[in-house]
């Protein structure tokens, strides 16, 4: 899909989440919403076709909890997903020839456990096992294309690593991970690369961070683009995201995050097609 707009609003119950594991009994909570709106999509031949304006809106709850000093539990629940299409109006007569369509439901839930690994020097290490639960609807709406999930059960393993560093008198942290996502249902497996750096300003009242995330499919699945043409749930999507966040501390336990996607690049669905990119 060729995205025109990306809007994200996050409300958090703690100010920051570092690479290092949470202590026993401590946690991190995030309530967030984001939206995509597009009127063009990439075809299975690598071209770009016009489309009726389609949108996706997701509200979610995120929880990171220290079960012990060495094991953390993580959960992501997209409790409200709206997949919709605007009504189609004739430019000649002004009459509606196709009504607004939408489907609301639960999205795909992610559950994970993070395990502490012995540090090496000033580097912190951990491992993560993430399970993607197909709790969303793979086929939904009047024509089946208003899905709220991809319908596949995936298992992702990650090696996480991070460290603190300074530039002059300003303290920063860096966290990163390398992951392998094993996907079922004919979807291709994926390689994930992620990096993030953060610093706090104004006596820790303002947090500024930047991040990048690269997802690379291995093209070893059996599905092609026809399984979800024009949808973010299609197979063999490679993406590179560059973005950041600014967070304002509202007290000892509350904060508001204002994320921004600076760049979103998407490659064609099929390895054999020409490469197309899109700016968001």
- pLDDT, residue 44, reads 63
Domain membership of residue 113 (yes or no) is: yes
Are 77 and 64 in contact by the 8 Å Cβ rule? The answer is no
Domain membership of residue 273 (yes or no) is: no
User: Could you tell me the pTM of the whole model?
Assistant: 0.82
Segment 9-31 mean pLDDT: 66
Segment 143-147 mean pLDDT: 89
pLDDT band at 242 (very low <50, low <70, confident <90, very high): confident
- pLDDT, residue 265, reads 60
Close Cβ partners of 143 (under 8 Å, ≥ 6 residues apart): none
Domain membership of residue 92 (yes or no) is: no
Domain membership of residue 274 (yes or no) is: no
Q: What is the CATH number of the domain that holds 202?
A: 2.40.128
Average confidence score pLDDT of the chain = 82
Q: Which of 9-23, 47-61, 187-201 has the lowest mean pLDDT?
A: 9-23
User: Between 99 and 269, whose confidence is greater?
Assistant: 99
Query: Alpha helix locations (H) across the chain?
Result: none
- pLDDT, residue 15, reads 34
Sign of CA dihedral 213, 219, 221, 227: positive
Nearest to 249 by CA among 241, 237, 258, 240: 258
Domain limits at 122? 5-86+98-266
Q: Is the model's pLDDT at 177 over the cut of 90?
A: yes
Domain membership of residue 152 (yes or no) is: yes
Highest mean pLDDT among 7-21, 30-44, 85-99, 194-208: 194-208
What whole-number percentage of the chain has pLDDT above 70?
80
Domain membership of residue 91 (yes or no) is: no
Q: How many domains does the chain have?
A: 1
Measured CA to CA, the distance from residue 149 to residue 222 in angstroms comes to 18
Domain membership of residue 173 (yes or no) is: yes
pLDDT band at 273 (very low <50, low <70, confident <90, very high): very low
pLDDT tens-digit map of 104-138? 999 999 999 999 999 999 899 999 999 999 999 99
Domain membership of residue 262 (yes or no) is: yes
């Amino acid at each position: 899909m060729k995205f025109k707009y990306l809007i994200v609003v996050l409300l958090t119950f703690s100010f920051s989440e570092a690479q290092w594991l949470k202590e026993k009994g401590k946690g991190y909570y995030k309530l967030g919403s984001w939206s995509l709106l597009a009127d063009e999509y990439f075809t299975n031949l690598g071209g770009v076709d016009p489309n009726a304006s389609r949108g996706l809106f997701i509200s979610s709850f995120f929880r990171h909890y220290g079960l012990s000093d060495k094991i953390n539990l993580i959960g992501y629940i997209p409790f409200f997903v709206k997949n919709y299409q605007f009504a189609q109006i004739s430019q000649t007569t002004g009459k509606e020839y196709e009504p607004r369509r939408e489907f609301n439901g639960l999205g795909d839930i992610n559950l994970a456990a993070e395990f502490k690994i012995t540090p090496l020097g000033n580097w912190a290490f951990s491992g993560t096992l993430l399970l993607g639960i197909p709790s969303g609807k793979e086929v939904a709406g009047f024509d089946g294309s208003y899905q709220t999930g991809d319908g596949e059960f995936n298992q992702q393993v990650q090696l996480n690593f991070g460290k603190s560093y300074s530039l002059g008198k300003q303290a920063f942290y860096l966290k990163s991970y390398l992951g392998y996502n094993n996907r079922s249902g004919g979807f291709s497996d994926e390689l994930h690369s992620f990096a993030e750096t953060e610093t706090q300003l104004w006596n820790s009242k303002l947090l500024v961070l930047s991040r990048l995330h690269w997802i690379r499919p291995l093209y070893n699945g059996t599905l092609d683009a026809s399984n979800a043409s024009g949808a973010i749930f299609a197979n063999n999507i490679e993406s590179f995201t560059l973005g950041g966040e600014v967070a304002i501390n509202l007290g000892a336990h509350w904060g508001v995050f204002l994320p921004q996607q600076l760049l979103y690049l998407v490659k064609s669905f099929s390895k054999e097609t020409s490469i197309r990119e899109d700016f968001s």
